[in-house]
Amino acid sequence: MSSEGLIEGTRKPRLLCLHGFRTSGRILETQLQKWPQFVLDKLDLFFPDAPYPAVGKSHVDGLFDPPYYEWLSSKKEFVYTKFDETIKYIEDSMIKHRPIDGLLGFSQGSVLSAALVGLQAKGLALTKVPKLKFLIIISGAKLRNEAWVDKAFSDIIRCPSLHFLGELDYLKSQGTELLESFVDPVVIHHREGHTVPSLDEKGLKLMLSFLLKMQNEVANQEKQQKCSRRSSL
């Protein structure tokens, strides 16, 4: 291991990062700059824009420049349309940036991320890409579409997950409910609102521990793949 706690000689974990409602990949990339650079340097992060231009005013207008995008169209809170099209778009992005080890999502992006890992476990989504190994959920909630929610969350999700819950986040109760759908979720509590939070000393420790587990899993998988290729020669 290196002095930073990650295994030398292996690639970094690769995460597809799904931005919030009516923002953009560039905006989420900027928001994550609140984390220490040495944390971000442990990951390969990819920031696609959602497939649909924002229809309506963005809550970040005046804070971040447009253009803005949305993953799904919302009829009411957490009930969305265009879900099938968005799943295919995300899967295509994972293929483009392969291999993707996990998803990082903020707000609407986290709602999607949590649902996708549950659907993939049942063979109902992301069938053209390897199983997701990790999730990082920031300001998360459960998808409410009746056609999908039971499929995504009927079984407990075993994918390792890290969740950020803010004391002032209007989604705190929904994010807390989401924890019940995961086995042994790691939780970072913070005092901020609906935002990508800074990492205090305790949060940083939890984050680094989770990243180390991610790196170990990637290293073990690479080792198994190398052994498999050698045995087939």
pLDDT for residue 7: 55
Percent of the chain with pLDDT over 90: 80
Q: What is the pLDDT of residues 162-213, one digit of tens each?
A: 999 999 999 999 999 999 999 999 999 999 999 999 999 999 999 999 999 9
pLDDT for residue 46: 98
Residue 221 lies inside a defined structural domain of this protein: yes
Percent of the chain with pLDDT over 70: 90
pLDDT for 75 beyond 80:
no
Q: Into how many domains does the chain fold?
A: 1
pLDDT for residue 223: 81
Residue 120 lies inside a defined structural domain of this protein: yes
Residue 6 lies inside a defined structural domain of this protein: no
Residue 24 lies inside a defined structural domain of this protein: yes
Q: How far apart are CA 226 and CA 213, in angstroms?
A: 20
Q: What is the pLDDT of residues 30-61, one digit of tens each?
A: 999 999 999 999 999 999 999 999 988 999 99
CA 8 to the chain's CA centroid: 25
pLDDT for residue 9: 63
pLDDT for 2 beyond 50:
no
Q: Is 99 left (phi over 0), alpha (psi -120 to 50) or beta?
A: beta
Is the pTM above the cut of 0.85?
Answer: yes
* Biggest CA pair distance of the chain: 59
pLDDT for residue 136: 98
Residue 4 lies inside a defined structural domain of this protein: no
Residue 3 lies inside a defined structural domain of this protein: no
Whole-number mean pLDDT of the chain?
91
Residue 224 lies inside a defined structural domain of this protein: yes
Q: How far apart are CA 63 and CA 141, in angstroms?
A: 24
Number of residues assigned to the chain: 233
pLDDT for residue 143: 85
- Two tokens, residue 201: 């000393």
Q: 50: domain range?
A: 14-232
Residue 9 lies inside a defined structural domain of this protein: no
pLDDT for 157 beyond 70:
yes
Q: Is 105 left (phi over 0), alpha (psi -120 to 50) or beta?
A: beta
What CATH number is given to the structural domain containing 156? 3.40.50.1820
What are the CA-CA distances from residue 47 to residues 20, 31, 59, 143, 164 (Å)? 11, 12, 19, 21, 19
pLDDT for 132 beyond 80:
yes
Band (pLDDT 50/70/90 cuts) for residue 225 is confident
